[in-house]
Structure 1
Amino acid sequence: MLLSNVETIPGKRIVRHHGMVTGSTVRARFFLIDLWQWIKGFFGGELKGYSKLIGDTRQQALKRMEEQAERLGANAVVNVRFATSTVSLGSSELYVYGTAVEVVDA
Structure 2
Amino acid sequence: MIITTTENVTGYRVTEVKGQVFGVVVRSRGLAGNILAGLRSIFGGEITEYTQLLEEARRHAIDRMVKNAALMNANAIVMMRFDSAEIGQTMSEIVAYGTAVVLEKQG
Measure the CA separation in 2 of the matches of 1:4 and 1:82.
12
TM-score with structure 1 length normalisation?
A: 0.91
Question: Does 1:64 pair with 2:64?
Answer: yes
Q: What SS class does the counterpart of residue 96 from structure 1 fall into?
A: strand
Which ranges of structure 2 fall in alignment gaps of 5 or more residues? none
Amino acid at match of 1:68: N
What's the % identity of the aligned pairs?
32
Amino acid at match of 1:24: V
What is the 5 A alignment of 1:20-31? 20-31=20-31
- Pairwise CA RMSD of aligned residues? 1.2
Measure the CA separation in 2 of the matches of 1:61 and 1:25.
6
Which aligned segments of 4 or more residues in structure 1 are displaced greater than 4 angstroms?
Answer: none
Shift of 1:41: 2.5
Question: Does 1:7 pair with 2:15?
Answer: no
Equivalent position of 1:73 in the other structure: 73
Equivalent position of 1:84 in the other structure: 84
Amino acid at match of 1:57: A
Which ranges of structure 1 fall in alignment gaps of 5 or more residues? none
- Note the alpha carbon deviations across 1:63-103, whole angstroms, 9 max, x for none: 00000000111110001111112233311211111000011
Shift of 1:30: 1.3
Count matched residues. Answer: 106
- Note the alpha carbon deviations across 1:7-50, whole angstroms, 9 max, x for none: 11122111111000010011112121111122222223322111
Cα distance change of structure 1 residues 93 and 35 upon mapping to structure 2, 3 Å threshold: same
